[in-house]
Amino acid sequence: MDEIQIASLLKSSELFPIPQGLKLSYGTAGFRGDAKLLESTVYRVGILSALRSLKLGSSTIGLMITASHNKVSDNGIKVSDPSGGMLSQEWEPFADQIANAASPQELVSLIREFVEKEEIKIGEYKAAEVWLGRDSRPSGESLLRAAEIGVDSVLGSVSVDIGVLTTPQLHWMVRAKNKGLKATENNYFENLSTSFRCLVDLIPINGNNKFEISKLLVDGANGVGGQKIEMLRGSLSNLDLEIRNTGRDGGVLNEGVGADFVQKEKVLPLGFGLKDVGMRCASLDGDADRLVYFYVPSDSTSDVKVELLDGDKILSLFALFMKEQLNVLDDGKEGKQSRLGVVQTAYANGASTDYLKQLGLDVVFAKTGVKHLHEKAAEFDIGIYFEANGHGTILFSESFLSWLVTKQKDLTTKGQGGSEEQKAVSRLVAVSNLINQAVGDALSGVLLVEVILQHIGWSIQKWNELYKDLPSRQIKVEVPDRTAVVTTSQETEALRPLGIQDAINSEIKNYSRGRAFIRPSGTEDVVRVYAEASTQEAADSLANSVAELVKSFLGSS
């Protein structure tokens, strides 16, 4: 690093002193906190993003300013790698170091050391490019300016403000740009509407499923997702949308609304009530990377109940549809059958896992956290992953997608354009375009759910009957040292303290359809207990018994 670069960094970093006592850690959600305290962090992540672009041969990097489902006064920042995926875990320790550097001198020293270790060349004209996006939070604009100054302080780096976006839009655009494809917001919308229309055109027409297109009510969480789905609505045929909680009517982002609120509290979002009995409803989260469905059952009285269809239910619907298409292909395919895999975490409801296994699917478990699920799903020809919170997507391997596209052309050339095999191939290719393969995306997710329900002629009530969730309970146990608990990579069993898993297993045996596990929190001295059983009373009892075991093995704070 030459003297000009060092002077540029020292000068710009003095504009953004780190707040007293601020200590941050980069995780799946990037950095998050009170927006008023984040200017120095966002500036520094701007520098990191420029260095990441330089390291990866001038690939475009994405930088998103959002705090997803957090309250409106919070904000955050996360980095998208060229693939559209999350920042490589190898760079997370560097992110932590520079975010917490106490002075401009310490910051520059850390950057110089890292640049030398990673052999990053700085100074060439327009050698790095970082695309900046933000959600609809009021604090986003000033934080974006800090990110721009961070990027531009690395010589030869260019920042591009691409405006107010959902998080998945930014990830999609970065992925498309690095693949040499058209990568504007309009291209994103065009991609969604074209592939959706293609799937609609391929809906089988027979006497059994004359599916009447009923209205879908969408809760936009008073965030950017509600605004973007309004923009998309005009280009969608075969979909009747009514969008509520767009944020334009004075509603507050994530306050009593949004997928996180509906899924965790199991209550209706604001603006929904008895008038919506039996209607199909979907809820996006604040930055539109999570999606859940729900409806008000017909037996609701003044005490309005909600029937929730969470990420597990969405995954099951997607898996059912994808398996149906692959079955048609595999019947006519010589040699190795295509590998369809489903990835869940230990928190997935046991009833959903049982259902997926009954379908004959390959179900694997990954550690909690989207990056672990994504990694595991990438091992299959088609990998589907979802967390119960509604974050998930479908991945197609490059080799399988290439095979599909070739197969589609071959069948058309051979005059088999209308065959069942050709339709199945075309549906799979359309799904690969519709679904956001970079990251979970509520907008593409809602379109895929809607077209699958039309395809099979199901109401939301019929979909909900796929399986009945087992009652569950989660408990947090405060402990002196959470690192005393070590689990298997899938987090379904505890390896330490020695003997605790045997004790948990003995407890589980006392309950019909019982299942329980423990895992240490990633951020606080807490051990999380999850239990499920055939009744709510039994699930509560099992969770409490396991919590007592944790206290007896580890002590309690």
Give yes or no for residue 210 having a pLDDT over 90: no
Pick the closest to residue 43 from 159, 163, 178, 167 (CA basis).
159
- Residue carrying the six token digits 């909600």: 306
Structure tokens at 234: 């005009």
Between CA 379 and CA 58, with CA 442 as vertex, the angle to 5 degrees is: 60
**Catalytic residue of the set 68, 300, 444, 545:** 68
List the Cα angle 382/386/392 in 5-degree steps.
Answer: 80
**pLDDT above 50 (res 536):** yes
Q: What are the beta bridge partners of residue 382?
A: 340, 396
**CB 242 within 8 Å of CB 258:** no
Instruction: Flag the least confident range among 44-53, 141-150, 401-410, 502-511.
Output: 401-410
* pLDDT surpassing 70 at residue 33: yes
- Reduced to 3 states (helix: H, G, I; strand: E, B; else coil), residue 125 is coil
- Average pLDDT, integer, range 8-32: 92
Q: Name the DSSP class of 435.
A: S
DSSP state of 18: P
| Residue 125 predicted with pLDDT over 90 | no
Active site residue 68: yes
- Does the pLDDT of residue 220 top 70, yes or no? yes
Sign of CA dihedral 306, 310, 314, 320: negative
What does DSSP say about strands 392-396 and 472-478: parallel, antiparallel, or unpaired?
Answer: unpaired
Q: Let me know: does 421 contact 449? Beta carbons within 8 Å.
A: no
pLDDT value at position 333? Answer: 54
Strand, helix or coil at 26? Answer: coil
Give the domains, in start order, of the chain with CATH numbers: 3-164 (3.40.120.10), 216-310 (3.40.120), 312-464 (3.40.120), 472-554 (3.30.310.50)
Percentage of the chain modeled with pLDDT above 90: 85
Average pLDDT score over the chain = 93
Predicted pLDDT of residue 231 = 95
Percent of the chain clearing pLDDT 70 (strictly above)? 97
CA–CA separation, 20 and 230 (whole Å): 42
How does residue 302 score in pLDDT terms, banded at 50, 70 and 90? low
- In this prediction, residue 335 has a pLDDT band, given cuts at 50, 70 and 90, of very low
Rounded Cα distance between 285 and 290, Å, is: 5
Over residues 488-515, the mean pLDDT reads 96
pTM: 0.94
pLDDT for residue 51: 97
Q: How confident is the model at residue 184 (pLDDT cuts 50, 70, 90)?
A: very high
Residue 393 pairs in a beta bridge with 385
384: amino acid identity, one letter: I
Task: Give the confidence band of 336 by pLDDT, cuts at 50, 70, 90.
Answer: low
